[in-house]
Structure 1
């Protein structure tokens, strides 16, 4: 009986005309406990990746292992990893430094038995004994009985034995057989040392070169052709959904190097009480945590390790953020410093289930967070897998492993696809903030966007967000702009505003993203009031300035500056954060003096082109 996926591998190899043979382990093919070892003709080695990929296996690179190429597939139903180890050379020793030129002869003598290409019994037996003796530091006790049976069947004049004599001396085959047939203490260590020494005398340069190259490749994988960065998997969910449990289970289950990084930046720590007593110390503490976490993620990625992140930057963009100064800083830095994940796992469970697990917060609050997470991931520009966290830990683990392995396998396939530099690249993932930045469309009579002009500073994230809602995006400097419904400007200059006002149809709208500060004051305008005046000077009507609180990327409220009671109510909410009273008092004072619009960090100015043409 053969596992169906292993049988598919064998059929695929035959269908592609690959010359191969099973090295050992035919009795365990129904549920392999270890590797399925295959010997492949060197002429077929270059295309084996593509052939096995068509059978559903993905390669995991392991530098410094000679000609060994490892391929994996995960069977979720049986919860078993299927691993195929392909070699096109017979290389022995801990660093595959002892090469034995027997591949062509072994494949020429192979036999077909029950649909499986098997080595000649003598070849299979000798390669097994040499593998146990030279590849291992000690012969496993559970393998000795089977090896002893093989030793009783083999002869010193078998083809592989004669080749071994050429490399290590006439007595080598006999001494190898004695190791397994006669139980003498320390015999295997002595024979192992003698064979390795003889091999080095026979091929000193080749052995030294292969051993050195293997050691270097294992210590520096990037020098051996490993991908420069490994995937990142983010695990999201409210407290009690099981994020830490799933993260640890992934580390234990995956066959690739993996590490976990915790990004709960605002979680309590022993020194928090001291930090709160010093102005700015708490924020500095959180920024240091963020820098350390981001550096750790990048370090693991560059070393070829898959990174499982417990919590992620997307947590800072959940609806209901208070928009404090500290949160604005950490949100901006987090989105800039941390790489976009290749896969997001959202653990979903009802609020009462999560409350029963940890007893934190309340079932109603946890259910509110649950719905917020579900709404957020629906708009994420990266692959998302929602896992039913009400199932058993084992079932959730299997589903998570399947989702992550699909991501790893996709990365492996992409690394094999070496496109020329002129080939189009896949679009990069866009941060969630790019979607939130077009919330101004809800300020228009209709949020549906058809033809949209983009002007000012080039912003690919904004353009991608517009395309995600089905808008046809054009440039203000292009042709055919007079039919556009909306023009949106990013940090515009005066000429950008004039082009946008002329580019929209009569009755169309112009939206400008405005940021405070001298660096943002292009075209002589300063803040939202300055751009409001510029809109009026350009002939636009129904001009209104809005404060996006706390900012354009993590916007939770859009407040019209002309409606002072709404702004005043928003300023009162600052009482809940550190130094909030001072911020609230300063903001309300500026509001009474008519200066608040100049202090707003980020917002939009919206105006409509008049439908009346003045001649």
Structure 2
């Protein structure tokens, strides 16, 4: 097995292993990925050079998948949906084999289209033994931050965090953000006195009344990302604060953010969970919800869950019943 096979899988499977709705063009837009894929890839594998041929190959795949998603979003027919799925699988298989072969044969310098030459030495046995495990850990951590591609700028720079001090989200933020400030560890008075200086603020299960304080550290034009748990998880985390707060659904948070002057407030459903999201679905898009909940499963448990979710969707109670909802909002810019 090639030493770089895990890297090849990351490069070629980055899109198809992400939320399945992505390939249908219903949640993410390929333009976000196309704009930052070069910096994104180089940031993950700084310990070795990635040839420009691989980056160009990856960019070509993005363009083809963007065309495939656009075609499906226009036709919306079962035949075109099946054809798109087949195209996605063929693309993944072709690019995986191609990139694996290219990475496996990197024994000489590689010339880039920009006139630069990058050295590609064969790694030592110690590095070969540790790199697959390390890159797999990075990939799993990066999936915890898939929501960043919903932001105008996916690169996390100056980030403030309100929430539990120990979680996979905190670990991922410490790994992939340029600067992380744990606001939850500072006294409330100190947080209020801090001038707004963060482009991205993240809050986990805050009370609706706390959004005003949280927004004070966010720069005008910055983005706020909020994670809301289920009714029961919220009750457990906020024990003693009353059922009224625990039952606060996305609508209450959306209304609170709009009163604070936030723009483009959108709620997303992370299915099945934040840590292992296979799909990130916009709750205000009926077509995306119907597509996801209309899929058939061979597992009777999944069929039962999907039936309950469809019933909740038709009754209008889906947003309150589901477990993992996030909010993405943009603070109004100064005029």
Do the aligned partners of residues 545 and 374 (structure 1) sit closer, same or farther apart at CA in structure 2, a change above 3 Å counting? farther
Partner of 1:368: 92
For residues 416-427 of structure 1, the aligned pairs below 5 Å read none
8 Å contact kept, 1:487–1:511: yes
RMSD: 4.6
Query: SS state of the match for residue 216, structure 2?
Result: helix
8 Å contact kept, 2:16–2:92: no
2:164 paired residue among 445, 451, 457: 457
For residues 377-416 of structure 1, the aligned pairs below 5 Å read 388=104, 403=125, 407=129
1:510 aligns with 2:224: yes
**Deviation of 1:601 (Å):** 2.2
Moved more, 543-552 or 563-572: 543-552
- If asked which structure has higher relative contact order (CA below 8 Å, sep 6+), I would say 2
2:272 paired residue among 550, 563, 572: 550
Partner of 2:233: 519
1:435 aligns with 2:122: no
Structure 2 residue runs without a partner (length 5+): 7-12, 22-85, 106-121
Please give the alpha-carbon distance, in whole angstroms, between the structure 2 residues aligned to 1:465 and 1:517. Answer: 25
Query: SS state of the match for residue 611, structure 1?
Result: coil
Query: SS state of the match for residue 569, structure 1?
Result: helix
1:535 paired residue among 254, 257, 271: 257
Query: SS state of the match for residue 576, structure 1?
Result: coil
Please give the alpha-carbon distance, in whole angstroms, between the structure 1 residues aligned to 2:97 and 2:323. Answer: 27
Do the aligned partners of residues 456 and 486 (structure 1) sit closer, same or farther apart at CA in structure 2, a change above 3 Å counting? same
**Deviation of 1:469 (Å):** 4.2
1:319 paired residue among 17, 20, 37: 17
Please give the alpha-carbon distance, in whole angstroms, between the structure 2 residues aligned to 1:483 and 1:320. Answer: 31
C-alpha offsets along residues 164-183 of structure 1, whole Å, 9 cap, x if unaligned?
xxxxxxxxxxxxxxxxxxxx
Please give the alpha-carbon distance, in whole angstroms, between the structure 2 residues aligned to 1:464 and 1:374. Answer: 33
Partner of 1:593: 315
Do the aligned partners of residues 609 and 372 (structure 1) sit closer, same or farther apart at CA in structure 2, a change above 3 Å counting? farther
Please give the alpha-carbon distance, in whole angstroms, between the structure 2 residues aligned to 1:462 and 1:442. Answer: 15
The TM-score, its normalising length taken from structure 2, stands at: 0.53
C-alpha offsets along residues 496-552 of structure 1, whole Å, 9 cap, x if unaligned?
533321110222221111221322244614343343344345443332110123322
8 Å contact kept, 2:4–2:104: no
1:486 aligns with 2:207: no
**Deviation of 1:236 (Å):** 10
**Deviation of 1:584 (Å):** 3.1
**Deviation of 1:475 (Å):** 3.0
The TM-score, its normalising length taken from structure 1, stands at: 0.31
Please give the alpha-carbon distance, in whole angstroms, between the structure 1 residues aligned to 2:229 and 2:90. Answer: 35
2:297 paired residue among 576, 586, 590: 576
Partner of 1:471: 178
Please give the alpha-carbon distance, in whole angstroms, between the structure 1 residues aligned to 2:97 and 2:311. Answer: 37
Higher helix fraction (1 or 2): 2
Please give the alpha-carbon distance, in whole angstroms, between the structure 1 residues aligned to 2:176 and 2:127. Answer: 31
Partner of 2:35: none
Q: Which has the larger radius of gyration?
A: 1
Query: SS state of the match for residue 159, structure 2?
Result: strand
Please give the alpha-carbon distance, in whole angstroms, between the structure 1 residues aligned to 2:178 and 2:155. Answer: 8
For residues 282-321 of structure 1, the aligned pairs below 5 Å read 319=17
8 Å contact kept, 1:450–1:471: yes
Please give the alpha-carbon distance, in whole angstroms, between the structure 2 residues aligned to 1:608 and 1:568. Answer: 27
Partner of 1:339: none
For residues 230-241 of structure 1, the aligned pairs below 5 Å read none
Please give the alpha-carbon distance, in whole angstroms, between the structure 2 residues aligned to 1:536 and 1:599. Answer: 23
Please give the alpha-carbon distance, in whole angstroms, between the structure 2 residues aligned to 1:546 and 1:444. Answer: 12
C-alpha offsets along residues 384-443 of structure 1, whole Å, 9 cap, x if unaligned?
xx9849xxxxxxxxx99x6358759xxxxxxxxxxxxxxxxxx9x956443122222222
Do the aligned partners of residues 471 and 497 (structure 1) sit closer, same or farther apart at CA in structure 2, a change above 3 Å counting? farther
1:445 aligns with 2:152: yes
Partner of 1:246: none
8 Å contact kept, 1:430–1:464: no
- How many pairs are equivalent? 230
Do the aligned partners of residues 388 and 370 (structure 1) sit closer, same or farther apart at CA in structure 2, a change above 3 Å counting? farther
Structure 1 residue runs without a partner (length 5+): 1-234, 239-314, 324-361, 378-385, 390-398, 409-426
Do the aligned partners of residues 565 and 407 (structure 1) sit closer, same or farther apart at CA in structure 2, a change above 3 Å counting? closer
